[in-house]
Amino acid sequence: MNTNIKNRDEIEEQFKWNLSTMYKSVEEVKQDMKKIKDLLNQFKGYQGKLTDKETLLKALLLQDQMDQLVEKCYTYSHMKLDEDNTNTQSLALFDQVRSLFVLYSEDTSFFVPEIMKLDFQQLSCYAKDERFQDYRHFIREIGRNKEHILSDSEEKLLSSFGEIAGAPKSIFQTLNNADLKFGEVKDENNETVELTHGRYQSLIQSRHRDVRKAAYNELYRVYKCFKNTIAQTFINSVKKDCLYARLRKYNSALEASTFSDNVAVSVYNNLIASIHRNIPLLHQYIKFRKGVMQLPELYMYDLYVPLVTELNKKYSYQEAVDMVLKGLNKLGDQYVSNLRQGLENGWVDIYENKGKTSGAYSTGAYGNHPYILLNYNGTMNDVFTLAHEAGHAMHTLYSHKNQPYRNASYTIFVAEVASTLNENLLMKYLLDETKDPKEKLFLLNYNLEQVRTTVFRQTMFAEFEKITHEKVEQGESLTPDSLCEIYYELNKFYYQGVQMDDEIALEWARIPHFYNAFYVYKYATGFSAAVALSKGILEGGQNELNKYLEFLSSGGKDYPIELLKKAGVDMATPQPVEACLQSFGENIKLASTLI
């Protein structure tokens, strides 16, 4: 392990994403920002005049033009900042774009409320015109959202608070990615290394217990020092969610979140209920892991270690690309060819550098190819992360290619399906390729860990979000200590058989997804849907593949539950989650036979 993290300019260009395909310079971004302002002035001329079909159509077309420019500016500027959060020029550009976004939201806030005032029957008649074909789902949404849209002045006032409302997330991101320093620890070679977000992921998987324990304790020592500040940031984020939900006449922040996807709150609650019913399976896995590791007691820092020492090896980025592409061959030659072109030619920002945003994601702006941010360390986990983010990227590519701008963006509820399906296909390919029992055990354990972290753990996160938001909605106070207590008790329930320590009570303080409320449950539902769809592709024929590729190409032209139904899985019922957990139990038994 290198003892120093490189600066951004020390990373070779071939390992960086190529943003010049979007903008060649900051000057070009600023030209588009000026164009947005000019178009905004034109758009404001429609205020109070949306009284006939022709005017409405012109306004919708102009809004699409502006939206695409705003999306492109925002996507580029946030990626530039994510390259290095300490770069003041990138920070300045992002702040300018974010301010423009708030102005844009304010100046366009009249649009939807004015459309809401129109007779919905008349709007439905407009939708029959072929020129409104791209806006039919939008008009359907107008009818569904009517009771939650405020007056023109109220919408404008709410929009003006956009930048302030985003402050908790922005503050946390800056603190977590730029300001927090996690000190130094000894690695497996007894060398002193700087602890970072990316490096922590490797150290926590170390075969040396003292290494992972030291990394774990050092990380949470730092978060404990900032516990009060981060708690206030999170608490204000929760209060913001509850306030916005109340202002828009929802019964709860949870309902406001699920309503946006046209998903019933019962889907969220059913997920938690299914996990509670099947929690003995997680306890069974913990017992299995403890036995394999031959430890008298299992601690939280023992949960991420690969169970097979011989396979704890490193893979170059190119090796990872080749493995992923072979694993995805069931998705067809065209899918694989498009993905290879992207992964090897400028889609991906591969390695960690100082100030780079931690973790991994995929993003994209309409009319441009998708991008992937990684912090690649060469572990098997990183190979699967590449497959995961490639799934997001290809979902974006297919949706953007096959849908008009208005319908191109898929919702978060379905976003995790394509990514997790890729991981499942890669897993099946690797399991089929090996005859080595130890390698099979390694891969099975990885799969078991995926279910533990993506289904069980993300549901625990979802339960934490539900509890904290309900407390605020019921008028109860949240404090740093109460957040730690809630989180600690959840861990006791989920991780029976693991020795609880004080550090785990602070884990909530380092989870960035909590600043996108009620997001994480979609990892669990998406994983469950992906298990069902991947099984169909592997066991079925061309029909199953065609339905899946149609799903990828559908963007947001329909509601997510409906899109998944057409693909072959009904997430409105508990069945997919229950089937996923049943598969988890079967894999525990299979892994046990390999010991």
| Helix, strand, coil tally for the chain in percent (to 5) | 70, 5, 25
Max CA separation in the chain (angstroms): 75
Burial bucket for residue 76 (CB in 10 Å: 0-12, 13-18, 19+)? buried
Cα–Cα distance measured from residue 59 to residue 126, given in angstroms and rounded to the nearest whole number? 14
Q: Which of 195, 208, 177 is nearest to 90 (CA)?
A: 177
389 part of the active site: yes
Length of the chain: 595
Cα–Cα distance measured from residue 406 to residue 544, given in angstroms and rounded to the nearest whole number? 27
Q: Which amino acid is at 486?
A: I
Q: Which of 451, 206, 391 is nearest to 306 (CA)?
A: 206
CA atoms within 13 A on the CB side of 441: 20
Cα–Cα distance measured from residue 252 to residue 271, given in angstroms and rounded to the nearest whole number? 18
Q: Which of 103, 109, 96, 114 is nearest to 27 (CA)?
A: 96
Tell me if 419 sits within 8 A of 388, measured CB to CB.
Answer: yes
Tell me if 175 sits within 8 A of 226, measured CB to CB.
Answer: yes
Q: Which two tokens stand for residue 402?
A: 């096959």
Q: Select which of 389, 463, 473, 544 is catalytic.
A: 389
Q: What's the CA angle centered on 17, arms 16 and 22, to 5 degrees?
A: 145
What does DSSP say about strands 348-349 and 371-373: parallel, antiparallel, or unpaired? parallel
Q: Which of 1, 8, 2, 93 is nearest to 350 (CA)?
A: 8
Q: Name the DSSP letter for residue 299.
A: B
List, by residue number, the catalytic residues. 389
